[in-house]
Structure 1
Amino acid sequence: MKISVLGLGYIGLPTALLFAASGHEVVGVDIDKRKVELLNSGKLPFQEPGLEELFEKAKNNFRVSTEVEESDVFLIAVPTPLDFHTKAADLKYVKSAAEMIWSHLRKDNLVILESTVPPKTTERLLIPILEKSGLKAGIDFYLVHCPERAIPGKTIHEMVHNDRIIGGITPESAQRAKELYSSFVKGEIYLTDATTAEFVKLIENTYRDVNIALANELAKIAEEYGINIWEAIELANKHPRVNFHKPGPGVGGHCIAIDPWFVIQDSSYGKIIALARHVNDTMPNYTLRKVREMLNGIKNPTITVFGVAYKGERR
């Protein structure tokens, strides 16, 4: 198949190369001209374990452009940042990618959205744009949401070995995408509808955020009682049905601090989720206050911070 991958970031580029290494003809599309020039000159825009070897293996089936071409498959892997004022997803890049696709859409094409999005995005945002082609989603072309499941530092390994969720707007759409991903995914592939797939991706990170918030709140309570929270958690986790997360100065990474807002942005519920976000967002200031208390009376203190990088060997 000929696959166009829109968005060549930390998810899009490895995904494109995995498909190319599996024998598909892949066109990577990105609006960043510098990135396109870099890749076409044989250089990578970022480092990731195994990416250089994969790039070498895929190069005969992979090329890069700033323009979308007619293809059998269109895969969207663009960023979905949080609007910090509205606490809602900024979907301008997803919308832009869909606008780039619809004029090239042909009967029996498959469109895949991998970007992390709020529930109903595939149905409410993508379908109306793509149907400007005159084709009907689920009838004339296939459409799915297949959220990425990979962590920086292990991206390629996890893309290959992790289980995947594919949500189609029709069962036929999901099955068509499963056949495609099976060309490199070794984990199990589970099929569902598009909205459920969107929701599953978000609640995976929401689960972690809420549980980290609980650990952080308990750390504050333990301090009031004069209890060592690390010892308390270690002992509590010896219960066969208890597994507390570790407290810390908030949450890091690209997803955990953002995805919970996507879950509740169009819901009338979500008080626990919003409260967990508040707890974790205020932990940096709480940590700073505790450090100031420890340094009281010390002139010109030297402070060493361990763990500045998001992941080892990453900025």
Structure 2
Amino acid sequence: MPASASWRPSAMDKPFDRICVMGLGYIGLPTAATLASRGVDVIGVDVNESVVAKISEGQSHFSEPDLDMLVRSAVSTERLRAVSEPEPADAFLVAVPTPFRADHNADLSCVEAAARAIARVLEPGNLVILESTCPVGTTLRFCEWIAEESPDLRLPHEEPANPDINVTYCPERILPGRMILELVENDRIIGGMTETCARRAEELYEIFVKGTLHVSNASTAELVKLTENAYRDVNIAFANELSMVCEKLDVDVWEAIDLANRHPRVNILKPGPGVGGHCIAIDPWFLIANAPEETRLMQAARRVNDVKSHAVLERVRRQMRRFREPVVACLGLSYKPDVDDLRESPALHIVEELARDDEMQLLVVEPHLKTLPATLAEAIHVEKVEMNDALSRADILVLLVGHREFRKVDMRKIYERVVIDTVGLWRVDRGEPR
């Protein structure tokens, strides 16, 4: 919705002295710590008791630059308090998971649970912001869940002119590895159930966001978030499909992309072993579910990116047949470089599938994890090793993630091994570095 010159702060407006953040994961915890660093009292809520305990000790439960320092400061100054149940506050930010089910529809059970939980402590004048990535129409359902739990409160979908509670959708837009910086610097889309709802949310984000705040409505904001990641998914699918074409034609895909990108209107992305992370690998399905007949390109892109992981697997297995008892070293498990995030990771999927074959020795190098994930830890033929150990023992090197550490490898140590470089870090797939 466009800005309106007629909008004025209502009598209900008051400072955000206390904010309750529902969900202390990859989005909620950085947001809570950042708000606390701005002098706001923050109640962080998570259903995972171990997460609550760790944050209460001033520690983050996942790796992210500068986050530990921010959490430690917020907890030590008593600006951030982690608990397992929501408490009364001036505003509520909901950043809970929205995974997808086996049928690719969104699982909104955590969003619904959060809505019903905060409904019990809401008071007139409160602001509620949903940040979780959701299908279009979820913010309306969110309001309905609150209304069911607290029928005495007037919600904006029922009385848009005079609600007791302001409700807004504002999707996150931050990248692991750059969360703290992007949380502050990136533009935000603020989609209110009404214009007043959006303007109230705008006041909250002005506490810590330096980027531009773009005011719209809830449905548009929901669609924009899904569109951003579906766009990226489609473009990555083109690169991944091109890489499979180049393999069939015995052409160096990295050289082909470098040269094609010298055209002033061409910008092909880099291929990889698939697509991972909670956003790009999942969000397009939410949009596809909203309009299945109108999203054929997005559906095709999802299939291409999933197939790419299978193509890498088959390529490794073909090379394994050259050895009586192959030793395969897989380099990287996370879904992107220089993080410990395994969500929807194609690298992890590939290694898990290889681990099913107990006729080989599987070495795993992942500098951002202390131990192997549970899906790999119990296999006796799978071993977590350091890079030098992998280089000395492996018959086949499979580079799955472009971690910074892998760039430092002495190229002379890999010449006598079969190398499958899925990310173009070494450029040695065809026998020599480029």
CA distance in 2 between partners of 1:284 and 1:2 (Å): 46
CA displacement, residues 72-117 of structure 1 (integer Å, 9 cap, x when unaligned): 101111000110x211110000000001011222212100001111
- Pair 1:46–1:290, CA change in 2 (3 A): closer
Q: Distance in 2 between matches of 1:44 and 1:233?
A: 39
What is the distance in 1 between the residues matched to 2:112 and 2:56? 26
Partner of 1:128: 144
Identity of aligned residues (%): 47
CA distance in 2, matches of 1:292, 1:126: 47
- 2:288 paired residue number: 264
Q: 1:283 is matched with which residue?
A: 308
| Letter aligned with residue 48 of structure 1 | E
Q: Which protein has the bigger helix share?
A: 1
C-alpha distance in structure 2 between counterparts of 1:227 and 1:35, whole Å: 48
Query: Does the residue aligned with 1:46 lie in a helix, a strand or coil?
Result: coil
Aligned to 1:99: 116
Alignment CA distance shift 1:289-1:175 (3 Å):
same
Secondary structure (helix, strand or coil) at the match of 1:88 reads coil
Counterpart selection for 1:80 from 91, 94, 98: 98
Specify which structure has the bigger relative contact order, considering alpha-carbon pairs within 8 angstroms and separated by 6 or more residues: 1
| Separation (CA, whole Å) in 2 of partners of 1:192 and 1:198 | 10
> Does residue 65 in structure 1 map to residue 79 in structure 2?
no
2:72 corresponds to which of 56, 80, 86 = 56
Match of 1:115 in 2: 132
What is aligned with 2:414? none
Report Cα offsets for 1:213-269 as digits up to 9, x if no partner: 111222222333333222111111111111011122211222111011011112132
* 1:219/1:313 CA distance change after superposition, 3 Å: closer
- TM-score using structure 1 length: 0.94
Instruction: Determine which of 204, 220, 241 is the counterpart of 2:244.
Output: 220
| Superposed displacement of residue 201, structure 1 | 1.1
Matched, 1:16 2:32: yes
Q: Which segments of 5 or more consecutive residues in structure 2 lack a partner in the other structure? A: 1-16, 157-162, 341-368, 370-434
Q: Match for residue 179 of structure 1?
A: 203
Whether 1:250 aligns to 2:266 is no
Q: Structure 1 residue aligned with 2:227, among 187, 198, 203? A: 203
Q: Which residue of 2 is the match for residue 232 of structure 1?
A: 256
Report how far residue 292 of structure 1 moved: 2.9
When the two structures are aligned, how many residues end up with a matched partner? 313
Report what 2:165 is aligned to: 141
Residues 40 and 297 of structure 1: is their aligned pair in 2 closer, same or farther, counting only changes over 3 Å? closer
d(CA) in 2 for partners of 1:30 and 1:56? 18
SS in 1 for 2:329: coil
CA distance 1:68–1:308, shift in 2 (3 Å)? closer
RMSD, matched Cα: 1.6
* Greater than 4 Å deviation, 4+ residue runs: none
Question: Alpha carbons of 1:248 and 1:47: their partners in 2 closer, same or farther (altered >3 Å)?
Answer: closer
With the length of structure 2 as denominator, give the TM-score of the two structures: 0.69
Distance 1:120 1:295 in 2: 49
The match for 1:168 is: 192
Change over 3 Å in CA distance of 1:291–1:7 after alignment to 2: same
* Residue number in structure 2 paired with 1:241: 265
* Residues 63 and 339 in structure 2, CA contact (< 8 A), matched pair in contact too: no
Report the secondary structure of 1:4's partner residue: strand
Per the TM alignment, residue 41 of structure 1 is displaced from its structure 2 partner at its CA by 3.1
SS at match of 1:308: coil
Letter in 2 for 1:171: E
Q: Distance in 2 between matches of 1:226 and 1:265?
A: 38
- Are residues 1:312 and 2:330 paired? no
Residue number in structure 2 paired with 1:3: 19
Measure, in 2, the Cα distance between the counterparts of 1:44 and 1:295.
Answer: 40
Q: 1:32 maps to what in 2? A: 48
